[in-house]
Amino acid sequence: MNQTLERWSSRRAFILAVTGAAVGLGNIWRFPYITGENGGAAFLLLYIAFVVLLGLPVMMAEILIGRAGRRGPMQSLGHLARQAGSSGHWRWLGLFGAFTVFCILSFYSVVSGWSIDFMVNAFSGGFVGKTGPEIGAGFDAFLADPLRMTLNHTLFLVMTMVVVAAGVSKGLERLNNLLMPLLYLLLIVLAGHAATMAGFGPALKWLFTPDFSALTPLVFIHAMGHAFFTLAVGACALMAYGAYMPDHQSLPGAAVAVAVLDVAVALLAGIAIFSVVFTQGMDPAEGPGLVFVTLPVAFADLPGGAFWLGLFFLLLLLATWTSSINLAEPMVATLQGWGLKRRSAALVVGLCVWLVGLLCVLSFSTLSDVYLIGQMTFFGLVSTIPPEVFLPLGGLLIAIFAAWVMPEQEALRALDAGPNGFRLWRAVVRWVSIPLVVVVLVSGLI
């Protein structure tokens, strides 16, 4: 397959696209509930350490492979491996990435669908005047309604695949240019609103005063998986975007900008959510329902609550939209590499994800007592193992490929940070990131 000629129109467009991929459910839904379940500040510190030591260097590795290969992930890996005189089997890493994003998108689309339902409900005043137990019961009734869940899941997936079918730079650039700045604005407004609440001080204290006794090997696994998940690293999804990266743009500069924006969004969302949680005396370890149950409760009796809540779910929907487009891209790029037209590839991917997503939908009703591994339902399984095991594993292989296998000159050129910058990046990947992933994975899984 020949190199793609498609490019993001500018450096800003590239940064917006990668930030759009990074910022999503991970920041606004997963970060608060997983931080709540893992004890707050100590987890937060660990997650930030993993972002710096693993997420960022591996993100650069992933994007530079795409940029040097300028093809779909499988084809880029195969091409560069052959160029280095190494095995063409490296291309299967691209397929593993496509499998990982497939699993992730199947639950991602379902949860993103929840925000459509909640947004409509919030704006139309459906939560106004309701008590906590009523809202909790409403959420449970929603989860137990496969038809309503399927409708939202379908709607969200159609929204995603329409943009993917239109082609990345055409469809996505327009969307990102509009959505990302709007998203930051909305978040800042919401965090500012949170600063006026009584729970703001306690929320800050809980988020920023660490208790290190809470850290166990499993917490390390959660934090590492979350660092990969939130930065969208480890599934070759950013590799697909790297293929369209313009020449003459330093990759480390772009990656750092994305990581800073990503962590900032998580922190702003965390501050907004936990201020509400502490104002209302709720439980931070509520679990995946945290955002969907506590916020409607909290906003129910605030002045203008229906508007603020609707705004919040709108923001969540916008953020998840750009991420799910990125999740779909490696699969579509892989099928395109096998000769399918972009539109047909988007249709096939959409249908397959929709079907597996149905199993996630049913995990809350018909299949709620079918446990696969341990006490996990199908939804529990796909929302835990791919982010926490597959992404770090994929990230590890990506790092090994970029820092040990790829021709040095290609990597140097694609990083675009000068010889010293290149040596620093490679030393960090070789001697910090790679060993760290191995140690955390091994110690957490045995």
Helix 342-362 with 92-123: angle, nearest 10 deg: 60
Closer residue to ligand PFF (CB): 25 or 293: 25
Give min distance, CB of 66 to ligand PFF, in A: 12
Token readout for 76 is 């880029």
Residue of minimal Cβ distance to ligand PFF = 26
Instruction: Quote the CA–CA distance of 119 and 222 in Å, as a whole number.
Output: 29
Rounded to the nearest angstrom, the gap between the alpha carbon of residue 165 and the centroid of all alpha carbons in its chain is 21
Give min distance, CB of 433 to ligand PFF, in A: 17
Closer residue to ligand PFF (CB): 108 or 206: 108
Q: Which residues are at the interface with ligand PFF (CB under 6 A)?
A: 21-22, 24-27, 101, 104, 229-230, 232, 235, 237, 323, 326-327
Instruction: Quote the CA–CA distance of 315 and 323 in Å, as a whole number.
Output: 13
Closer residue to ligand PFF (CB): 128 or 256: 256
Closer residue to ligand PFF (CB): 165 or 265: 265
Say if residues 112 and 317 touch (Cβ distance below 8 Å): yes
Closer residue to ligand PFF (CB): 31 or 364: 31
Give min distance, CB of 418 to ligand PFF, in A: 29
Instruction: Quote the CA–CA distance of 408 and 371 in Å, as a whole number.
Output: 47
Closer residue to ligand PFF (CB): 24 or 296: 24
Give min distance, CB of 291 to ligand PFF, in A: 13
Closer residue to ligand PFF (CB): 149 or 238: 238
Closer residue to ligand PFF (CB): 17 or 412: 17
Give min distance, CB of 426 to ligand PFF, in A: 23
- 282: which DSSP letter? -
Closer residue to ligand PFF (CB): 44 or 412: 44
Closer residue to ligand PFF (CB): 138 or 242: 242
The 3-state secondary structure of the chain reads CCCCCCCCCCHHHHHHHHHHHHCCHHHHHHHHHHHHHCCCHHHHHHHHHHHHHHHHHHHHHHHHHHHHHCCCHHHHHHHHHHHCCCCHHHHHHHHHHHHHHHHHHHHHHHHHHHHHHHHHHHHCCCCCCCCHHHHHHHHHHHHCCHHHHHHHHHHHHHHHHHHHHCCHHHHHHHHHHHHHHHHHHHHHHHHHHHCCCCCHHHHHHHHHCCCHHHCCHHHHHHHHHHHHHHHCCCCCHHHHHHCCCCCCCCHHHHHHHHHHHHHHHHHHHHHHHHHHHHHCCCCCCCCCCHHHHHHHHHHHCCCCHHHHHHHHHHHHHHHHHHHHHHHHHHHHHHHHHCCCCHHHHHHHHHHHHHHHHHHHHHCCCCCCCCCCCCCCCHHHHHHHHHHHHHHHHHHHHHHHHHHHHCCHHHHHHHHCCHHHHHHHHHHHHHHHHHHHHHHHHHHHHC
Give min distance, CB of 287 to ligand PFF, in A: 17
Backbone angles phi, psi at 339, to 5 degrees: 105, 0
Give min distance, CB of 148 to ligand PFF, in A: 23
Give min distance, CB of 374 to ligand PFF, in A: 23
Give min distance, CB of 444 to ligand PFF, in A: 19
Question: How many other C-beta atoms lie within 10 A of the C-beta of residue 196?
Answer: 10
Closer residue to ligand PFF (CB): 191 or 235: 235
Give min distance, CB of 126 to ligand PFF, in A: 26
Give min distance, CB of 129 to ligand PFF, in A: 32
Give min distance, CB of 168 to ligand PFF, in A: 14
Measure CA of the first residue to CA of the last residue in the chain; give whole Å: 41
Closer residue to ligand PFF (CB): 4 or 27: 27
